[in-house]
Amino acid sequence: MSKAYHQLEQRFARMSAIGGAIAVLGWDHATMMPPGGAAARANQLSTLSVLRHEIMTAPEMPDLLAAANEDTAALNDWQAANLNEMHHAWTHASAVPADLVEQMSMAESKCEMAWREARANNDFAKLAPLLNDLIGLVRQSGEARSEALGLSVYDALIDQFDPGGRQSQIDPLFAELQAFLPDMLQEITARQNDAPPAITPTGPFPVAEQEKLAHKVMSLLGFDFSHGRLDTSHHPFSGGVPEDSRITTRYDEADFTSGLMAVIHETGHSAYERGLPKDWLHQPVGRARGMTMHESQSLLFEMQAARSPEFVNFVSSLIKQTFANAGNACEPDNLLRIYHHVSPGLIRVDADEVTYPLHIILRYRLEQDLIGGALKVTDLPDAWHAGMKDLLGIAPDTDADGCMQDIHWPSGAFGYFPSYTLGALAAAQIFAAAKTDDAAIVPGIAKGDFAPLNGWLRQNIHGAASRFSTGHIIEQATGKPLSVDAFKAHLEARYLSG
């Protein structure tokens, strides 16, 4: 390899280490940090963000990239792909001035801490000024990236989380979903209304026992506790680094079912990170290929595999062993009725897989209007209320259950939401292909053995990392471009067959 390329690898490895420190500090911020540490933590995260940005935007970087690009014949396929990812990352970073990076980091920390209190007290007025300031900074960042990348402002924001993701690709898929989901929802709910209702689990289900169950299930899914841990937070997430995975969930002592599925969802994220090629972990090409692919892995675990009759039949015995008071509520048939229940609800993270895309379509619309200036922050609660009525036929009584329920906007993550539903489409398509390719996957899941599934995913998804585009990886793994077809077929088979 050329001297310039070697120097670039060293610089990106250094930035990866800083990013890992930011990730672990962010996990601590969300799980264990006392409130009094917020100001110090904001300063730490801001300082590290600026240091990373300074390395990325050092004056010699353009010359190093140009020199490495002149000698690509000396690079193998992975190195060439890595150089492309380096250039893409540099283009994003160099577009944004260092002082704006620092302002955004500070604003994100302040806004997120204010969101926690505002949500708990249903006090949107307390959050609104900080959110308005943060959106202004996000808009500035988007405008700078837009000019550098030759994209619209919103596409430039999407590209941060999902490289190559574009409104022109998303809009037709979302339009197709919106065309059939409302009618399908009515048909499914009519069927369920005619069936016997599920028996609701009656607690209490102590948090300590739920944690024990979560650890057992995570181990079955392949989680390595020597390289990770499980904690609690306001909002479930998977963080840390591939070598040190930090998963969080939240528990309800009256109902274990949602906390368990949140754990399975986040374990899917962790499995993807742990399956990335070890030789490239600290280079851009070795990272996960954007959030659509990331969400596909978490939703594949949660929605496709863990809610299947095979796995629910298996896990019911573990639940009975854990909760002596569970009774008939934990019989497989009843658990399936619980986990397959479809009903419009207010909370995205608790939504079933039929209504979930409608939650995302709402956020997709609103964040475009917030960034574009068509919607004022002060008008967000009313716009949320109207959008929920339009898409789901219900509306929240409080802003805590409305526009303040998600952490994404208070943390500055605009352009992230579409990846959840794109990930659901990809999960259905990938899981269908995996089951076709390997007949051992479904029998394995029925025994609590995820090794066949994990093996297929590592070979076809995880091992590709960021060497190829999201679309290429999906098409190579499934034989067709991403579409709504597999997702629609999955919903019809699960909820409308028989």
List active site positions: 266
Q: Report which of 276, 295, 305 is spatially closest to residue 237, judged by C-alpha positions.
A: 295
List for the chain the helix, strand, coil content (%; round to 5): 70, 5, 25
Write the CA distances from 381 to 344, 387, 448, integer angstroms.
19, 10, 43
Write the CA distances from 316 to 4, 201, 280, 369, integer angstroms.
56, 13, 39, 44
Strand-pairing partners, residue 39, are: none
Q: Report which of 184, 198, 147, 143 is spatially closest to residue 312, judged by C-alpha positions.
A: 198
Cβ–Cβ < 8 Å for 474, 428: no
Type of residue at 92: H
Q: What is the 3-state secondary structure (H, E, C) of 315-363?
A: HHHHHHHHCCCCHHHHCHHHHHHHHCCCCCCCCHHHCCCCCHHHHHHHH
Phi and psi angles of residue 214, each rounded to the nearest 5 degrees, phi first: -60, -45
* Separation between Cα atoms, residue 156 and residue 143, nearest integer Å: 8
* Separation between Cα atoms, residue 275 and residue 167, nearest integer Å: 29
Q: DSSP 3-state assignment of 165?
A: coil
Query: What does the angle CA 243 – CA 248 – CA 252 come to, to the nearest 5 degrees?
Result: 160
